[in-house]
Structure 1
Amino acid sequence: MSEYKYGDRTYKLTNGNYDVDLPDDIKIPESVFKYYGKTSYSIDAIINNYLFCSHPYHLNDSIDSSSLLWDFSNLSKGIFEKFYKQFGFDKVMDINYEKEKENGFVPIKQRFFEMASKNAGVISLTTNALQTLMWAHYSTESGFMIELDWKEIKDNLKALNPKLNNYAFFPIQYVDKLESIDFFGNGFNSPDIPYLYSTAVKRKDWKYEDEWRLMTYTMDYGVPNSIRGPFPDIPSQHERKLYYPKKAIKSIVLGKHFFNASNLKKVIDDKTYQLKTNSDLDFVNFLEQNYNDRIYFCGEYQNGTEFKRSAEKVHFEKVDWNTIQMIRENKVYV
């Protein structure tokens, strides 16, 4: 067993299985939420019931899950030389231990990072359903949010994802100051625990997100190196997708500006819309046929001197092939 305690969490690898020990006052949520911008990728994810397993290069925080959090200062010269011989680099490169130590052992660190990250996926979820900044940052108010039943996802992980080796589900540990993990001074024999740790800590600037992270592990997701520069990608052998059952979706909340000039041909009355023939029309028809009993519409209301978010229960009724009515059910959750 390999483990690392930081703050009130312990990051563990036991018999190839990843886990995070949490304090008793943190409970596993029944529901988690995922915000989406209205893109073809997002719509495809809902239609086909999967969550995208990101690589760190896909994430919006540049130090999230980064090897910058790995301290290589205790890398011995023996291990250094063994590493280069193992990968045959000593035959094609002028290897200088002292020079690389001064520069933070960047080439070796990058190699270890690729070894860890190519087999892992990051899925960012939240327990915060109606957070204004989340709507603004991740759905730009014109997208949508889904509520997922965590137990349904968990109970169907292996059946729907047979190539999944294991997973870890935990809340982000928000800290005042990010601290690096001593890669070679803690007895680690692989990059697994340092990588798990680096995916689990973020600055308190991000605390408003109330993020729960689902880490997925399989073989050869690949590494999208081209995101960070003119570098070759490490090819993927398995798609970065985690499938879940249709019944795991408990609700779908449409953003305040889900309906707008990009998809509306005509507004017939307050809640009767004639849609343009495009992907949005296909998506609305899909929602009407598959999730009509669990659709909500995001809005805001005034409570005294405050304005707050709400989600009103609605359903669609078809008028004709491209015209729908959004029927209010007078049920609101806030």
Structure 2
Amino acid sequence: MEEYKYNGFKYIKDYQNTEVPIIIEHGKKKPENIFKFYGLSRFSVDALTKGYFYTSHPIELNDILDSSPFLFYTSKPLDFEYYNKFLGFLYEGKEEELIKYYEEDSREPNLCKGYIFQLWETMTNIFGIISTTGKENNPLMWPHYTQEKGFQIKFKTDELEKSIPEKLTADEEFLGLYPVNYTSTLHPIDINQFGAMFIPFYYGATVKIDTWEYEDEWRFLIGKQQMGVPYSKSGFSPREDYLVKKENRYTYYDKSIVKEITLGMNFFNGRDFEIDRVNDKIINVKPKEIESNWEFKSQQKLLDYLCTDLNDKFYYSGVKYELDEQEKPYLIRTKEKMLIEKLDGGFYQLTRTENIIKLIEKPA
């Protein structure tokens, strides 16, 4: 049994329990619903219509310190046995070279940095992160992740947590759903105090600077073989990507469990769409097939999918005024349930239902 406490989280590895790789005690209540924000692109629309998430490599996350190899260090040289277990097969018949590498890497100033980076590269080739949020209505999420032109999908957390493992194959592993451990200072974890990398790995995959706390992020961790390492996305890296096929980072779920989809307020804009306001409740829209509308095909594909599969789950973002206790108006975000129907000539008819849901609480 190994334990590590940090910032109110407790990371526990019970080597007698083979059913779960690790336990993370955190005291946070799992949200009833969970949300995924997407910018509009052919990749995000493909993921929605086929029912999968792209399971990100740490290099692809939007914070270079997130799940980074710099979150691991050792306060003293590791035993040679660590190197032999991890790298021995590469030096078969050349044990003297491995010993030389160990002696050079384990002394100051390196102090096992070569070992740590190689171990991180190996682990992240078989590991990925699906980022979701427990907050529907944070005002920063829409502009940061969708530019107000993308979409948000909603799931029941328990249903998604059940569906993902059901879609995995025998050689893939569901590593769990965990909240991010937001901290004021990022402290690297000393791997020397652990017999294996279970606790350091899960610590590195869940800790994040508290500047990001507004996201209320919950992460699905997935293990698969040969997921790839996108070296070229890292700064000043001359290395070519190690890729097998991009589909190895796809993690599927049952499409029927999508509870809602909400389009951003600027999705239907006059630059990309022909817009005909028939009356107060009915608006006809048509994506413009012009050179400046790069996402024409994605818009068509998404709208077709809304018509056929998500018509009863479709919402559109909006704003409205509320009055505070002094009868002073303030703005809130909303979403309104809408109906969509495909018409002739490439048009889609949107019908407002006036079923408007307020998304931001009254200010204090």
Answer yes or no: same fold by TM over 0.5: yes
In the other structure, the counterpart of 2:54 is 52
TM-score, length basis structure 2: 0.83
2:212 to 206, 217, 222: 206
- Residue pairs, 1:73-92, within 5 angstroms: 73-76=75-78, 78-79=80-81, 82=84, 87-88=90-91, 91=97
Query: Which shifted more, 71-80 or 110-119?
Result: 71-80
Q: Whole-Å Cα distance in 2 between the matches of residues 298 and 20 of structure 1?
A: 38
* Distance (whole Å) between structure 2 residues aligned to residue 171 and residue 81 of structure 1: 32
State the one-letter code of the partner of 2:222: T
- SS of equivalent to 1:198: helix
After TM superposition, give the deviation of residue 108 of structure 1 in Å.
Answer: 1.2
User: Could you tell me which of 7, 13, 20 is aligned with 1:17?
Assistant: 20
Structure with greater Cα Rg: 2
Please, what TM-score do these two structures have when normalized by structure 1? Answer: 0.90
CA distance in 1, matches of 2:276, 2:82: 67
RMSD, aligned CA: 2.4
**CA shift at 1:325, angstroms?**
1.9
1:97 Cα deviation after fit: 3.3
Q: 2:305 aligns with which of 271, 286, 307?
A: 286
* SS state at 1:302 partner: strand
What is the aligned counterpart of 2:266 among 252, 257, 260? 257
Which residue of the partner structure matches residue 329 of structure 1? Answer: 353
Q: Find the aligned partners of 1:104 and 1:321 in 2 and give their Cα distance.
A: 67
Q: Is the 8 A contact 2:227 2:249 kept in 1?
A: yes
Per the alignment, residue 235 of structure 1 pairs with: 243
Distance in structure 1 (CA, Å) of the matches to 2:19 and 2:125? 16
Structure 1 residue 321: Cα displacement: 4.2
Cα distance in 1 for partners of 2:54, 2:319 equals: 30
2:74 to 72, 75, 98: 72
User: Which ranges of structure 2 fall in alignment gaps of 5 or more residues?
Assistant: 290-295, 324-328, 360-364
Deviation at 1:159, TM superposition (A): 2.9
Alignment of 1:86-165 (within 5 A): 87-88=90-91, 91=97, 95=101, 96-97=103-104, 100-162=107-169, 163-165=171-173
Aligned residues: 331
**Letter aligned with residue 42 of structure 2:** S
Map 1:307-326 → 2, pairs under 5 A: 307-326=331-350
Partner-residue secondary structure (3-state), 1:184: helix
Residue 306 of structure 1 is matched in structure 2 by: 330
Q: Give secondary structure in 1 for the equivalent of 2:343.
A: strand
SS in 2 for 1:293: helix
| 1:172-208: CA deviation from partner (whole Å, max 9, x where unpaired) | 11111111111012x232x232121011111110010
Stretches of structure 1 that go unaligned for 5 or more consecutive residues are: none
Residues in 2 aligned to 1:274 and 1:99: alpha-carbon distance in whole angstroms: 63
2:287 maps to which residue? Answer: 275
Pair 85,281 (structure 1): closer, same or farther in 2 beyond 3 Å? closer
Deviation at 1:290, TM superposition (A): 0.6
